[in-house]
Amino acid sequence: MKEILLVGLGGFAGSVLRFFVSKLNLSWQVLAIPMGTLTVNIVGSLIIGFLAGISAKSDLISGDLRLLLMVGFCGGFTTFSSFTNENLMLMQNGQFLTVLLYTALSILLGFLAVYLGYILSNSL
């Protein structure tokens, strides 16, 4: 039960923060890319990479804290379902080049952010 509560609490915090950041979709677009969703996915990738790096090299982050932050917070903060739904809407609007660019940026920048977070954790 404790694990469920930790994941739920982290997920709540991540989801609420994602809600506020994703409001950027309404005010900040580049080439019609939903920048709020792209931002939360890249920042979430950076955070989880950093936490994974710390977890791999030390006992600084307990199992409970990993559940709270990595599974709960990062899981609630990042959003694959919003990403795919936004791509569907872009496709329905005939913005196929934007779909390709948004998808490529999300995957490439997401991976680079996880790697950067992991590398940054090793510099501690």
Q: Which two tokens stand for residue 60?
A: 């600084």
In the prediction, which pLDDT does 32 show? 82
Amino acid at 42: I
In the prediction, which pLDDT does 119 show? 96
Delimit the domains of the chain by residue range. Answer: 2-122
Does 35 or 110 have the greater pLDDT score? 110
pLDDT value at 36 more than 90: no
Closest CA to 12 of 68, 65, 62, 52: 68
Tell me, yes or no, if the pTM score tops 0.85: yes
- The span from the CA of 19 to the CA of 71, in Å, is 18
- The span from the CA of 1 to the CA of 91, in Å, is 42
Q: Which two tokens stand for residue 53?
A: 């790096």
